[in-house]
Amino acid sequence: MTEILHTTLAFIVAIALLIAVHEYGHFSVARRLGIKVEKFSIGFGPALFSWRSNDQEVLYVIAAIPLGGYVKMLGENPDEQEEGVASTLSEEDRKRAFNVQPVWKRAAVAAAGPAYNFVFAIVAYMMVGWMGQSVLPTIVGHVAPASVAEQSGLQIGDRVVAVHGRDVHSWQQMEELLKSRVGKQSELIVSRNEKTLALNMKLAEQKKDPLLIDVASQVLGFTPGLLVSVDDVVESSPAHQAGLLKGDVIQRVNGRAVNNVNQFIDQIKANAGKTVKIVVKREQTLLELDVLPATDQNQQGRIGARLSSQAANGTSVYRMGIWDGMQYGFVRTWEMTVLTLGVFSKMVTSAISPDNLGGPIAIAQLAGKTADMGLVYFLSFLALISVNLGVLNLLPIPVLDGGLLVYLGLEKLRGKALSPKFLEITQFIGLALIISLMVFAFYNDLSRLFRG
């Protein structure tokens, strides 16, 4: 129960903050440009708290459902643009209505929400750079026999310092750069015995999208070297019967070195009903255990143990200077923007399955996990979600900011406003699309939750 409450609180803080940033962008620009704002709401549904601005013009609301928000401006809705409604307004209000403003003012208000999300991400990433990140160093811990990495001359103990001309400071950063080079030639600069070497590697095309695979391990054949340890053993399971204990570090399975959890699991799955020899390190002693994996409903092996991994070379904290941190904020935000656009486009073309789309439950889980890990990780999470909000709201879908910008572009081309009826119909279609997307994402969340 405590974990659920913690995750829920982290989710509410994250979503409320990012929505407030987005809506404040619309609000602040609209007010500065003289447009009358009637309501500023964080969340939907019944109001939990509400109060008026000092000039009594704006109603501020914190609502019960923290999954969105809005800024209500005078003359914004199509039904307010009818001739009869407009005639009931005072002369001053008619001048301040959203729909009578020049196109550039309305476009500025529409773009301000996503723009504030990007600015927030830039600042958050700057803070992450200055505060320092705990990173996995780019030290090679294992090179698979006959792999691209081995054939290129990569050796255990090499430290990768650059990928195709870009300096790298963490395994994650290196992996992201390698993903962008799949299907191309790339040069890895490595440090070995205080010498610098350039190794050329061909990253072959893959059936799966690079975003969905571990390129260093699955394409090139090298890993950071991970210690795979036993976190828990199920009572009366094959692992328990063989004598496997919590805290054991798995060294080898059927004579092959174990370098990551997935590799070990694949070996177990492939040997259902066959005795597997597992070498473990217990304290300072090496033990060989014979384990007979049980066969599950999919005819795959299971031994009833929960595993985890940690870097054999440990982690290090990487902090940036003032200037480097500022650069990192802009560069990282741009990289995440390009990545998000790429994921959206690949989902539309089915290059990546839409099943990977996450909804509120997935976001809540990530919020809880990153909040547990510390402020730096939570800031990185907030920056990533802020970028996603910025990109999503710029999509050319009616009811989103991008849809409004399309409307304004059409109005500029036509030389006159679009009809309220057209706006109403297209906004209904856009709303239906957004609701369908949210339902699908929520369905994905529930499917993953019940699959475990």
Closest CA to 269 of 247, 253, 285: 253
Q: In angstroms, rounded to a whole number, what is the distance separating the alpha carbons of residues 121 and 124? A: 5
Backbone angles phi, psi at 53, to 5 degrees: -70, 165
Contact 247, 282 (CB under 8 A): yes
210 in the same domain as 239: no
Q: Is residue 358 part of a domain?
A: no
* Cα–chain center distance at 277: 39
| Max avg pLDDT among 85-94, 131-140, 353-362 | 131-140
Please name the residues in contact with 439: beta carbons below 8 A apart, sequence gap of 6 or more: none
* Cα–chain center distance at 63: 26
pLDDT top residue among 379 and 445? 379
115 in the same domain as 57: yes
Q: In angstroms, rounded to a whole number, what is the distance separating the alpha carbons of residues 119 and 386? A: 9
pLDDT top residue among 399 and 445? 399
Q: In what order do the strands lie in the sheet with 159-163?
A: 166-167, 159-163, 185-192, 195-202
| Mean pLDDT, the chain, integer | 86
Question: Quick one: average pLDDT of 195-223?
Answer: 87
Of the pLDDT bands very low, low, confident and very high (cuts 50, 70, 90), residue 19 is very high
Cross-strand pairs, 230: 307
Of the pLDDT bands very low, low, confident and very high (cuts 50, 70, 90), residue 374 is confident
| pLDDT confidence of residue 353 | 66
Contact 162, 196 (CB under 8 A): no
CATH code, domain carrying 215: 2.30.42.10
* Cα–chain center distance at 436: 21
280 in the same domain as 208: no
Contact 315, 136 (CB under 8 A): yes
| pLDDT confidence of residue 90 | 77
**pLDDT tens digits for range 400-450:** 999 999 999 998 998 888 887 888 888 888 888 888 888 877 777 677 666
Of the pLDDT bands very low, low, confident and very high (cuts 50, 70, 90), residue 356 is low
Cross-strand pairs, 295: 301
**pLDDT tens digits for range 143-173:** 888 999 999 999 988 999 999 888 998 898 9
Q: In angstroms, rounded to a whole number, what is the distance separating the alpha carbons of residues 161 and 168? A: 5
215 in the same domain as 234: no
151 in the same domain as 62: no
81 in the same domain as 103: yes
Please name the residues in contact with 3: beta carbons below 8 A apart, sequence gap of 6 or more: 368
- Looking at the structure of the chain, the number of domains it has is 3
Please name the residues in contact with 311: beta carbons below 8 A apart, sequence gap of 6 or more: 136, 137, 141, 224, 225, 226, 227
Rounded to 5°, angle at Cα 358 from 357 and 364: 170
| pLDDT confidence of residue 399 | 86
| Res 110 pLDDT > 60 | yes
Q: Is residue 106 part of a domain?
A: yes
Q: Is residue 135 part of a domain?
A: no
| pLDDT confidence of residue 207 | 80
Which residues are known catalytic residues? 23
| Max avg pLDDT among 52-66, 252-266, 299-313 | 52-66
115 in the same domain as 24: yes
Range of the domain at 288: 227-292
Per-residue 3-state assignment (H helix, E strand, C coil) for 213-238: CCHHHHHHCEECCEEEEEEEECCCCH
| pLDDT confidence of residue 118 | 97
Q: Which domain-ending residue is among 238, 258, 292? A: 292
118 in the same domain as 15: yes
Q: Is residue 195 part of a domain?
A: yes
Q: Which domain-ending residue is among 201, 224, 247? A: 224
Q: Which domain-ending residue is among 183, 200, 224? A: 224
Q: Is residue 99 part of a domain?
A: yes
| pLDDT confidence of residue 162 | 94
| pLDDT confidence of residue 150 | 92
Q: Is residue 373 part of a domain?
A: no
Question: Quick one: average pLDDT of 239-256?
Answer: 88
195 in the same domain as 161: yes
| pLDDT confidence of residue 12 | 84
| pLDDT confidence of residue 189 | 94
Supply the DSSP symbol for 351: S
Q: What share of the chain in percent tops pLDDT 90?
A: 34
**pLDDT tens digits for range 50-106:** 999 888 899 999 998 887 888 999 887 755 555 545 556 777 878 888 888 999 999
What long-range pairs does 193-196 form, CB within 8 A, spacing at least 24?
Answer: 196/161
Q: Is residue 352 part of a domain?
A: no
122 in the same domain as 7: yes
Q: Is residue 274 part of a domain?
A: yes
150 in the same domain as 37: no
| pLDDT confidence of residue 357 | 66
275 in the same domain as 188: no
Cross-strand pairs, 185: 202
